[in-house]
Amino acid sequence: MGFIKKLLMTVWYLATLIGVCALMATIYGPWTHEALALFAVDTYNYAVQGCIAVSLIGGLIMWIRVLSRRKKANSISLEEEDGSQITITRDAISSQARYIVEEDGSCEATKVGVFAEKKGLISVQVTIRPHYTVSAVEKGAELRQELDEGLTKLCGERIESISLEFLAPEEASAIESDDGASSYLALMDADAEDGEPEGEEAEGAEEPQEAEATAEETPHKEAPEGSAHPDPSGDGVTIPMRGVAAHEEGKHE
């Protein structure tokens, strides 16, 4: 709204307020007789009539504007040739812009406005809420370039301007670099991988316990006579010689 329009709206509002108050004072209040007597003064009478006239004229102008205002077209014409026409809806442009902004998962497009300018040109305004703190300059330049390329493919050479507005992030944090989202995902993957060996170690620890339990359940079998068994002293293997000793005793007899 321009300065002239604001000034006219202010004059209309004040004139309406003064005229209504002057008329209501003659009906309600403790000074009804005094208010009626003031209308006998020409200056006061003309001032109130002027305020009422300004109020009525302003109301009539606004009523005409409301009736004559055109409904905003939902579709925008892209190309016309030999009676054929190619149009695209504002929702199609808005959804594509929203997809481009939210593609890497670092930001959310809370509001997308599409405006048809003169000569068939299109202006796009996107309100962005980052999931974490990002550099508005770097991220804004990156998103603007991606939006320009993506919307140009969609609408042709019709994109006149792209405006970006960054809101407060969902979670304030240190400003990440351009690959902040990828580094965050890599960190999450690394944490997940660190958790896997712990499970493997737990499984490996269970296996010796099961082996010990199996060994306890299995009864101990005594070694057959004449078999080799380790020497308790640790010097080697001891082989019992009972059969040899009996044979030597027979010879002596």
What would the mean pLDDT of 20-49 be, rounded to a whole number?
A: 89
pLDDT digits (tens, 9 = 90+) for 80-115: 777 778 888 899 999 999 999 999 888 999 999 998
3-state secondary structure of 232: coil
pLDDT digits (tens, 9 = 90+) for 192-234: 565 554 444 444 544 555 545 554 544 444 444 444 444 555 4
Q: How confident is the model at residue 72 (pLDDT cuts 50, 70, 90)?
A: low
Specify the DSSP element, H or E, that contains 83.
none
pLDDT digits (tens, 9 = 90+) for 179-199: 545 554 554 555 556 555 444
Separation of alpha carbons 57 and 12, rounded Å: 9
In the chain, DSSP assigns E strands to 75-81, 84-89, 107-116, 122-130, 159-166, 229-230, 237-238
pLDDT for position 205: 47
Out of 3.40.1190.20, 3.30.300.30, 3.40.109.10, 3.40.50.10790, select the CATH number for domain 75-166.
3.30.300.30
pLDDT for position 73: 65
**Helices and strands, counts by H and E, the chain:** 7, 7
Specify the DSSP element, H or E, that contains 174.
none
Residue 14: half-sphere exposure toward Cβ, Cα within 13 Å: 7
**CA–CA distances in Å: residue 199 to residues 2, 187, 195, 205:** 69, 20, 7, 10
End-to-end CA distance of the chain: 137
**Is residue 49 predicted with pLDDT exceeding 60?**
yes
pLDDT for position 220: 46
pLDDT digits (tens, 9 = 90+) for 122-156: 999 999 999 988 888 999 999 999 999 999 998 88
Higher-pLDDT residue of 51 and 85 is 51
pTM: 0.48
Extract long-range pairs of 68-73: CB within 8 Å, 24+ residues apart.
73/116
Q: Determine the Cα angle at 54 with ends 48 and 60, to 5°.
A: 135
pLDDT for position 18: 92
Q: Is 209 left (phi over 0), alpha (psi -120 to 50) or beta?
A: alpha
**Domain range list for the chain:** 3-68, 75-166
